[in-house]
Amino acid sequence: MTESSSQTAGPYVHIGCVPSFAGLRGMYGGQDLGAAMITGEVAGQKMVFSGAGYDGAGAPVTDALIEIWQAAPDGTYAPDGFTSWGRQPTDADTGHFRFETLKPGAVGQQAPHILIWIVARGIGLGLTTRAYFPDEDNSGDAIFALAGDRAQTLVAAATQEGYHLDIHLQGQQETVFFDV
Amino acid sequence: MDKPLIKRRDLTAHPPPLYPEYRSSLLRAPAHARLHYAPTETEMAGPTFGHTPLGAQDDDLIVNYAAAGEAALGPRILVHGVLRDEDGRPLPGKLIEVWQANAGGRYRHKKDGYLAPLDPNFGGCGRCITGADGTYAFRTVQPGPYPWPNGGNDWRPAHIHFSVFGDGFAQRLITQMYFEGDPHIAFCPIVQSIPGAAAIDTLVARLDMERSVPMDLRAYRFDITLRGREATYFENQTAGT
């Protein structure tokens, strides 16, 4: 058997994955899955991880779905009180997305990072990338090193409330995407 | 606990990033090839939903948005199948989410302005968790084909979108299910962006009269396969190398 082939999530992915955001009143109890990542008391730094997607013409990607998967501050995945998984739509006007989460800790030999998965119209197979942090030592991270002279596209910028990563699907500043 | 590494994805079985006949890919396809690395502790893990409390009607699109006593319009169908990995192992406790147009080919979405009317009793999304044997099922109405802006007289074949989770995030997949015998499959650039007829065929559901319910609904069978496992074992401490 071989893996089922991927198909684009299309322009209406929000209906299926964030139906309340899409305006389907009351669907699934009015709660979109993945909206809340912090579900209990977990030690560590709360932060907002935000970002925005842009296409090759620099236009915001306003119809995408973004999922993130990240460790808790202690470097483990999905401990009590923290789901490690978040799902958000990009904004219909600005293409921005926003996760209320915790700053991840190092995972084994890997520097703190957030795995990011992007699906949307025009994307046939979901795009995977990672966010790293400007205030951490990323030099020993093998995946960061793999990105070579394009690794800076993976480094989020510090903001007042956390960190922000611009994701460029195409163009001069094209983000590094991974086959993993 | 160590477990076998998730097998490398065969990118040639999936749509290439740039497929000019699918116009939306032109400005959204990265120019650089994806950089490969073997899954680390990060991608070997993933969210689990086996204990997520779902609503009693989440898997029934015929009624999950309908007014009390009402039902969605259109041909009533059951869609069912088995979620497995490439090694044939059933994947139990996994979340499957679906979304689709209504029987007239219209989505309940502010950006869909197709002439076909909305059905007040049809929302267009559903979800379920696979059973201990990897099986899943949901009831819905068969979606209609619809025209879409792609530069010409383009019509999507009738389809249902699927979002699927595995054990590790590396297995995450979104795809679409088509219906056996739909002549639009051959003309659709989104479908035809998949290299090879055999790969396309795995996305075509078969009419399943055995599961059809007399005087109620017909059944379609659609099995889904996620990435399997390597023969070698995953070791946490060398993750990323």
Encoding tokens for residue B21? 């006949």
Q: Give the model's confidence band at B3: pLDDT under 50 very low, under 70 low, under 90 confident, else very high.
A: confident
Is the model's pLDDT at B237 over the cut of 80?
no
The per-residue pLDDT of chain B, averaged, comes to 95
| Whether A80 contacts chain B with CB within 8 A | no
Q: How far is A116 from chain B (nearest CA, A)?
A: 10
- Which tens digits make up the pLDDT trace of B135-147? 999 999 999 999 9
Is the model's pLDDT at B232 over the cut of 90?
no
Respond yes or no on whether ipTM tops 0.90: yes
Q: Cβ separation of A3 and B240 shorter than 8 Å? A: no
Q: Cβ separation of B11 and A109 shorter than 8 Å? A: no
CATH classification (class only), A13-168: mainly beta
For residue B161, indicate whether it is catalytic.
yes
| Residue A119 phi, psi dihedral angles, 5° rounding | -130, 145
Give the H or E element holding residue A143: helix A142-146
Between residues 14 and 33 of chain A, which touch chain B (CB distance below 8 Å)?
14-17, 19, 22-24, 27-29, 33
pTM of the model: 0.97
Query: Which of A175, A77, A88, A177 lies closest to A127 in space, CA to CA?
Result: A177
Query: Which of A61, A17, A52, A47 lies closest to A35 in space, CA to CA?
Result: A17
Specify whether domain B48-228 bears CATH 3.40.1280.10: no
The residue assigned the tokens 């029987």 is B103
Domain boundaries of chain B, sorted by first residue: 48-228
Q: How far is B167 from chain A (nearest CA, A)?
A: 13
Residues near A118 by beta carbon (within 8 Å), at least 6 away in sequence? A53, A64, A65, A66, A126, A127, A128, A129, A167, A169
- Which tens digits make up the pLDDT trace of A113-159? 999 999 999 999 999 999 999 999 999 999 999 999 999 999 999 99
Which of A14, A69, A110 minimises the CB distance to B240? A110
Domain boundaries of chain A, sorted by first residue: 13-168
Q: Cβ separation of A1 and B111 shorter than 8 Å? A: no
